[in-house]
A and B are shown apart, each in its own frame.
Chain A
Amino acid sequence: MQSFSYEKAQSVEQATGTTGKFIAGGTTLVDLMKLGVETPTQLVDVTALPLAQVETLPNGGLRIGAMVRNSDLAHHPAVGKDYAVLSEALLSGASPQLRNMATTGGNLLQRTRCPYFRDPSYSNCNKRNPGSGCAAIGGHNRMMAILGTSDACIATHPSDMCVALTALEATIQVEGPKGKRSIAIADFYKLPGTTPNVENALEPGELITYVDLPAPRKASKQVYLKLRDRASYEFALASAAVVAEVSGGHVRAVQIALGGVGTRPWRAHEAEAALTGKPATAAHFRAAAEDALKGAKPSSENGFKVELAKRCIVRAMTMASA
C-alpha cells in the first residue's frame, strides 16, 4: 500500500471541494488498496457527513442517506415494510461484519470481484490499465458476466443492493463542484464497451448524497432471489429482483433486475415487456426468462449461468405471484 493523506470532511462542500478519493465504510477501497489495485494519494473520509438518515419524501418515496450502513438500511422499518426487495438483497450480501461497515453510497460504487482486476500482477486489465487488454477472457471465467460484456471486459457487477435498486427504479442524488444533480439508476452504470475503466456517470469530485426510492405501489409484491454455490458469504451466480403487481391471475406491471450475470446491475426490459398484461403462469415466466437472456454471451466456463438466470427469474416471478 502506498502512502496517502487522510482527512475527515465535515461538510459536503468540504468533501466535494477536494481532489481526494472518498472513503466511507472502506470495505472495497481498503481491500483494493492493500492489493495495490487502488493507489490513492489522498483519502477524504465522508462518514461524518450528515447523510446517515432514512426519511420519507413528500411524494411518499424514501430518501436514503449515502452514509446509511447496509445493516441499518436492511433493518429499517420503512424498508422492511415497503421495499422488502431491498432489505432481502442487502441481507443476502457479504457478511454481517461487512454490512455493518458498508454504506449505501459505497455499495453503489462497489468494484468487481474479477480476480484479474484484483491482481496487479496481471498487467492486462482494461479497467486498471485502459487499452491493456483483458486477462479474464481466456482465463478462469466461471464467475464472469454473460450480459453486457465486450471484447474489452467481462467482469461482473457484484452488488446485490444495486440489483434491488435497479428494480425499484431508484434515483441517485449527487453533489459536486458544479452543483447538485439527479441520475436515474438506469443511467448511472455504464456498459464496459471499449472503456471498462469508466464504470458510472459520476464526474470528478461528485459525491453520492442520497438514493431516492419512488413511492411504493400498494399492490406490488417484491422478491429478491439469490442463487449461489454456498448458503452464505458468496457473490451471486445469478440473482433476480422482482417488483410485480399481479392481480386476477395477470401480471399488471413488473420490474425485473438481474445480478451476478451482467457487467452492471441488469434491468430485464425484454422480460418485463413479455410479461406485462400476460397471465401469471409458469409458461409465461419461462418465455419471459428466455427473452431476458437472449443476448447472453457466455464464456467457456459460465454457460450454466444462462439457464440458472432463467430459472431464477421463473422462481422469483412465481414467488411474486403467489
Chain B
Amino acid sequence: MATQTTPPSQSNVIGRSVARIDGPLKTTGTAQYAADFHFPNMAHAVPVQSTIASGRIEKLDAAAAQSMPGVLLVLHHGNMDKLYRVVPNDFSATTSEARPPFEDRTIYYWGQYVAVVVAETLEQATAAAAAVKVEYSQTPAKLSTNLGDYAGKRPSVSQRGDAEKAFAAAPIKVDQTYVTPAETHNPIEMHATVAAWEGDSVTLYETSQGVVNHRYAMAQVLGIPRENVTVVTRFLGSGFGGKLFPWPHSALAAVASRRLQRPVKLSVNRTMMFSNVGHRPLCEQRFQLGATTDGKLLSLRQDYINHTSLIDDIDEGCGEATTYLYSVPSLTVTRALAQRNVGTPSPMRGPGAVPGLFAMESAMDELAVALNMDPVELRLRNDATKDESNGQPFSSRHLKECIETGAAKFGWKQRTPAVGSMRRDGRVLGWGMAAASWGAYRFPCAATVALEVDGRVTVRCATQDVGTGTYTIFAQVLQEKTGLPFERIGVHLGDTSMPEGPMSGGSWATASVLPAVSSAADSVVKTLLQVANSTAGSPFAGVDPAKLQLTAGRVHQAGEPAETGVPFEKLIAMARLSRISADGNTTAIFEDPKAKGLSLHSFGAQFVEVEWEPQIARLRVSRVVTVIDGGRIINPKAAANQIKGAVVMGVGMGLLEQTVYDPRTGQPINGNMADYLMATCPDTPEIDVTFLDYPDLAMGEYGARGIGEIGLAGVAPAIASAVYHATGVRVRTLPVRIEDLLQSRIREA
C-alpha cells in the first residue's frame, strides 16, 4: 500500500492506453500455451467418453485398444490410481468436479470420462480410444430440457420488508418468468494438460485461470505434498471462468504420466468442451415487481432455479445484482437447484449477475411499458443511494451518470416509445437499454520486484494473464515506479514457483495485483537509495537517501536533473550485488479497514439498437453504447478491448448461444463451432465504450475496481428490450430467435 515514502510517479503511464507487452509474442506465434509444450519422449492421452447420460458401466473391454499400435496404457475405473477429493468449501483448493475421474462405475452425465488411452502419438491414442468397448446398464436420465417441474426447497437468499404483501397491494405489477439457456464457454484456446514427473514431483502445464489454486487442489487430488506440484500457465487463450478450477483431465494426465514415467499431453477437443469442462447452467427466474403508478418500486421478488449436476451443487447465484441495484423497500430472493444428468456447471463471465440481470432488466422494461414510462426514467427514479440489502454506503456508485451519459451518447431523446415506430433505410429500429452491475473484489497477492544488475527491473508473481492485459499492468506499475521503458521491464507470471498471486476471475486480478507490485517496487527503490548511500565509491556515499531519487532508471539528487545521476545498475554493480529485490503484498479487501462497511460494486449502462427487417424476420444488433463505472481504468486500450469483446459475447447471448441437449440421450448435440452459434465479425455492431474513470480509493491507491464481466452484464436484456420495441414480441426465453420474431405483427418496414 502507499506510504509516505512513495516516490513521485515517473510518468503518466497509469491510466494511459498502452499496447499489450505480450502482443508480439502472440502475433508471432511464440507465446507458449499449454498444448504448445512438447518434451522428448512425450506420450499422448485421449479420453473415452460415456455415450449415455445415466447408468453404470457393466463391462469395459480395453483388450483390443491395448493391443493396437503405439498404445502404452489404458486407464479406467478398474485400474486407476487412488485419487482423492478436496476438502469441501476450502476456497484455496477448489476443483470443478468434486468426483475425481473414474472414482466409481456410475455414469452421471453424457460424455463423462470412462477411460483414457495413452499412446506414442495422438493419432494412435485417438484410434485406440475408439476401440475401447464399454457396456452400460442405463437408468432413466433427468435431462436438462426444462426446470418447470421443480418442486423442491427454495431457500431464501435475501429478504427485507414483506414483498408478498407489498406486491399484492401494488397498483402496477409485473409477474413473469425468464429463462436463460445453458451456454458453453468457448475460449479460443481449448483445455489441455501436459504432465511431467521428476521423482515424486510433478509439473503440470495447464491452461488455468488460477495456477495457485490448481496447485493446491491437485496436490490434494493426487495425495502428494503441495511443494511437489508445480503449475505453469504462461499464456491463456482466455477462459471466461471455465478454467478457474481443475477439471478431471488434469488428474488423468498426471496419473498417466506417473504410471509411464514419461511426459503426457492430454488435449480436450472442442466437442468434449461441451460436456466436460463446465458451462453456464440453464436458469429459470420468476420476477415479480410491484410499483406505484408513478414508477416507484414497492416490491421485488426473484425466485430462481438453475440446473446443477448430480455430482456438485453449483448455485448460479442469479440474485447477485438484485438486492442493491435499485431502491425497493420490500424484497425477497430465493434460490433452488435442480439436479440433472449434465456435467458440472461452472462460473461463466458474470456468473449469476448476467442471467439475473437479463431477468431483472427485462422485468424493468416490462414495468416501463406497463407504466407507459421511459425505461431510462424508470431506472433513474429507482436509483439507490445506499446498498439496501445491508444498509452500507457504496464506495463509489455512479449508475445514474452511466445511464445519463449513455442516453446522451446514444441519442435516446429521439426515441419514440411505440412499438415499431422508428424506421431507417427500409428497416424498423428498436432501441433498448439496461443497467448493469458487478461486484468489486480484491484478493491476497504477493509479488517480488527486483532491480537487476543487467539494468532490468523484473517482477514475479504466480498469477496469470487470461489474455486481457495483466502482463502489461505489471509493466505499467514498474514503469511508473522506475521510469524504465517496457523493453527493460521483465514480467514473469504463471508459475507456482513464484510468489502466490490471485486467480484471474471475477474481474479482480487487476485490483488484487496492483498493491503488491506497487509496494514491492517502492521497497526496492528505497533499498536502492540506501545502497547508493552506503556503497563505497558511490557518488552518493553518505548522502541522505531521503534526498535521493530514482528517475528514468538513474539515481540522482532530488532537485537535480536525472542526467546528473548514475544508472541504478552501476550502483548495484558497485555494491557487488546481483540484484536488489523486495516482496510486496496485497491484503484481501474484506480485511482492509479502508473498505470496511462499504458496498463495493462496479456499474454500467447498456444502450442497444437493433435493425429489424420484418418481411424476412432478419434482426441484427447495429449499435451499442456502453458506459462503465469500473473505478480507475489502468489501461484504457486493453479495457475497451475487454468491454467490446464482452458486448460481442452479449450479442451471442441475446441472439445466438445455446447448448442444446439431445432430448433422449442428454448429449450436447451442437458441440462444435459450426452448430453452436456465437457472434461472428459480421454480427458485431458498432460499439461505443465510455469509462467514467472515477477512482475507487477503497480498492487501493490506484482506485481500480475491475472490468470484464461488467461489459456483458445488461447487454442481453437491452437487446431483448430493443427487440420488443422493434417487433412487439417480448422474448423471455433466450436466445431471441427467428421463431420468436416471426410472431411479430409488424410485417412491413
Contacts and interface: CB of A to CB of B under 8 A. Distances in A.
Given A229-B738, A304-B742, A115 B126 contact: no
B677 A234 contact: yes
Contact of B738 (A36, A119, A225, A308): A308
B618 A233 contact: no
B680 A230 contact: yes
A307 B680 contact: no
Interface stretch (B277-285, B493-501, B661-669): B661-669
Given A230-B655, A311-B615, A139 B669 contact: yes
A115 B663 contact: no
Main secondary structure on B side of the interface with A: loop
A226 B616 CA distance: 10
A85 B407 CA distance: 43
Interface string B645-667: 00000000001100010111101
A122 B663 CA distance: 14
B36 interface: no
A234 B127 CA distance: 30
B127 A233 contact: no
Nearest to A140: B669
B342 to A, nearest CB: 15
A227 B618 contact: yes
Contacts of A201: none
A282 B665 CA distance: 45
- Counting chain B CB atoms within 10 Å of each CB, the highest count among A2, A229, A235 belongs to A229
Nearest to A303: B739
A229 B742 contact: no
A140 B660 contact: yes
Contact of B662 (A140, A233, A304): A140
Interface residues of A, number: 30
Interface string B586-620: 00000000000000000000000000000111101
Contacts of A232: 680-683
B674 interface: yes
A1 B126 contact: yes
Contacts of B660: 140
Given A139-B663, A140-B663, A231-B682, A121 B739 contact: no
B664 A2 contact: no
A130 B683 CA distance: 40
Nearest to B269: A34
A224 to B, nearest CB: 13
B737 interface: yes
B738 A304 contact: yes
A121 B683 contact: no
A154 to B, nearest CB: 15
B224 interface: no
A308 B662 CA distance: 24
Contact of A231 (B620, B665, B738): B620
Contact of B616 (A231, A233, A312): A312
A115 B679 CA distance: 21
Contact of B680 (A121, A233, A237): A233
B51 interface: yes
Interface in A216-230: 225, 227, 229-230
A304 B739 contact: yes
A138 interface: yes
Given A115-B675, A140-B660, A1 B616 contact: no
Contacts of B739: 304
A227 B656 contact: no
Interface in A117-143: 119, 121-122, 138-140, 143
A101 to B, nearest CB: 15
B130 interface: yes
B679 to A, nearest CB: 7
A269 interface: no
B683 A230 contact: yes
- Counting chain A CB atoms within 10 Å of each CB, the highest count among B130, B656, B675, B681 belongs to B675
Contacts of B198: none
B104 interface: no
Nearest to B620: A231
B123 interface: yes
A233 B674 contact: yes
Interface residues of B, number: 32
A314 interface: yes
Interface in B26-70: 51
A138 B669 CA distance: 13
B675 A113 contact: yes
A227 B738 contact: yes
- Counting chain B CB atoms within 10 Å of each CB, the highest count among A225, A230, A318 belongs to A230
A195 B664 CA distance: 25
A284 interface: no
Nearest to A2: B127
A126 to B, nearest CB: 17
A134 to B, nearest CB: 13
A250 interface: no
Interface string A304-322: 1001100110110010000
Given A139-B664, A308-B617, A314-B615, A229 B682 contact: no
Interface string A263-294: 00000000000000000000000000000000
Contacts of A36: 130
A229 B680 contact: no
Interface in B694-749: 737-739, 742
A28 to B, nearest CB: 12
B677 A230 contact: yes
B670 interface: yes
A173 B533 CA distance: 90
A231 B621 CA distance: 11
Interface string A230-274: 111111010000000000000000000000000000000000000
B742 A307 contact: yes
Contacts of A119: 667
A182 B224 CA distance: 71
Contacts of A308: 616-617, 738, 742
A320 B677 CA distance: 30
A314 B674 CA distance: 28
Contact of B127 (A1, A227, A230): A1
Interface string B121-143: 00100110010000000000000
A67 to B, nearest CB: 25
Interface in B208-239: none
A311 B617 contact: yes
A59 B656 CA distance: 47
A122 B660 CA distance: 16
Contacts of B617: 227, 308, 311
A230 B656 contact: yes
Contact of B615 (A1, A233, A315): A315
Nearest to B660: A140
A227 B742 CA distance: 13
Interface in A129-171: 138-140, 143
- Counting chain A CB atoms within 10 Å of each CB, the highest count among B655, B667, B679 belongs to B667
A285 B664 CA distance: 40
Given A115-B675, A234-B677, A315-B616, A139 B662 contact: yes
Contacts of B742: 304, 307-308
Contact of B656 (A139, A229, A307, A315): A229
A234 B738 CA distance: 14
18 contacts: A1-B123, A113-B674, A121-B667, A139-B662, A139-B663, A139-B669, A140-B660, A140-B669, A227-B616, A230-B680, A231-B680, A232-B680, A233-B674, A308-B617, A308-B738, A311-B615, A311-B617, A314-B615
Given A138-B664, A140-B663, A227-B738, 11 more contacts: A115-B669, A115-B675, A121-B667, A138-B663, A229-B656, A229-B738, A230-B683, A231-B680, A233-B680, A237-B738, A304-B739
Q: Report the 9 A-B pairs with minimum CB-CB distance, sorted nearest first.
A: A231-B682, A304-B739, A232-B682, A232-B680, A121-B51, A140-B669, A231-B683, A315-B616, A115-B669
Interface of A: 1-2, 36, 113, 115, 119, 121-122, 138-140, 143, 225, 227, 229-235, 237, 304, 307-308, 311-312, 314-315, 318
